[in-house]
């Protein structure tokens, strides 16, 4: 019974032990070989204004951490929505047609590894404005996991399902919504989840390059100002928001899987 009770508390105790271990390692590193690395205490002292006043706006790039996060999330949401709206139907088309796959898969594999740092300048050339260029970059970089996983999911649909749809003389639309979509949903959500993580990664790079208000823009400004404590604050914020977004997407996936 005692072993069973201790196991129940592991979900809380073990992560706390891990956090304490990282903090101790961070403190030891800043005190020994990484002299320029601020300690956790110094980081808190220098950053607490941004945390304790999360919605304050003292200047364009001097705002509370929640404000910066909100700016970044708005841009990510727009770019991510474009990625899903484009990537999902493209994935279905590739999954349903071997010819389209043979035609476009090499192009997808060629474009997929290209860094957002390369796409953003092209976006600026095409749109001449920073926000459309950032949306272009986020959508283009984030859509590939959705495209690939959706296509794989469509190809994985058992042939028996499609045969039953033909026997019942279902239309293409009904076959899509009654057979293909439910069977492909787990694969799609895997792609959606990966795409969301990439979209959040890309926004930081975009903001660093175009200098717009947001977590990435603030991080780059503080790096140029040699305020390393705020760099760590941005890193922690980026990690926390990414963790929360992933968990929220997991909850949405479970909700749809239970239907």
Rounded Cα gap, residues 44 and 94, in angstroms: 50
In CATH, the architecture of 62-257 is: Orthogonal Bundle (1.10)
pLDDT, tens digit (0-9, with 9 covering 90-100), for 79-136: 999 999 999 999 999 998 999 999 999 999 999 999 888 999 999 999 989 899 999 9
pLDDT, tens digit (0-9, with 9 covering 90-100), for 131-188: 999 999 999 999 999 999 999 999 998 888 888 888 888 888 888 888 888 889 999 9
Is pTM beyond 0.85? Reply is yes
Domain boundaries, the chain: 62-257
Contact status, residue 80 vs residue 195, Cβ threshold 8 Å: yes
CA-to-CA dists, residue 137 to 24, 184, 191, 203, 229, angstroms? 38, 27, 18, 9, 29
Report the relative pairing of strands 57-59 and 62-63 from DSSP bridges: antiparallel
Q: How many percent of the chain have pLDDT more than 90? A: 60
**Sequence-separated (6 or more) residues with CB below 8 Å from residue 237:** 65, 68, 69, 215
The answer, yes or no, to whether residue 2 has pLDDT greater than 70, is no
Reading the block at residue 31, the tokens are 């005190």
């Amino acid at each position: 019974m005692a072993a069973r009770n201790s196991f129940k508390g592991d979900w809380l105790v073990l992560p706390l032990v891990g956090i304490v271990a990282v903090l101790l390692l961070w403190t030891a590193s800043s005190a020994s070989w990484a002299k320029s690395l601020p300690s956790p205490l110094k980081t808190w002292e220098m950053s607490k204004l941004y945390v304790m006043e999360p919605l304050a706006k003292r200047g364009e790039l001097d705002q509370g951490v929640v404000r910066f996060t909100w700016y970044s999330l708005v841009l990510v949401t727009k770019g991510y929505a474009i990625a899903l709206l484009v990537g999902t139907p493209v994935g279905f088309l590739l999954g349903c047609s071997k010819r389209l796959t043979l035609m476009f898969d090499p192009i997808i594999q060629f474009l997929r590894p290209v860094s957002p740092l390369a796409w953003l300048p092209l976006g600026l050339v095409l749109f001449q404005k920073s926000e459309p260029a950032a949306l272009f970059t986020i959508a283009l970089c984030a859509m590939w996991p959705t495209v690939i996983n959706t296509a794989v999911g469509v190809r994985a649909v058992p042939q028996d399902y499609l045969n039953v749809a033909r026997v019942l003389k279902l239309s293409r639309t009904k076959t899509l919504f009654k057979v293909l979509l439910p069977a492909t949903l787990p694969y799609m959500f895997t792609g959606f989840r990966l795409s969301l993580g990439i979209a959040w990664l890309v926004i930081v790079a975009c903001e660093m390059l175009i200098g717009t208000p947001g977590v990435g823009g603030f991080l780059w400004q503080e790096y140029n100002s040699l305020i390393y404590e705020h760099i760590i604050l941005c890193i922690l914020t980026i990690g926390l928001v990414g963790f929360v977004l992933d968990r929220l997407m997991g909850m949405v996936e479970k909700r749809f899987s239970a239907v």
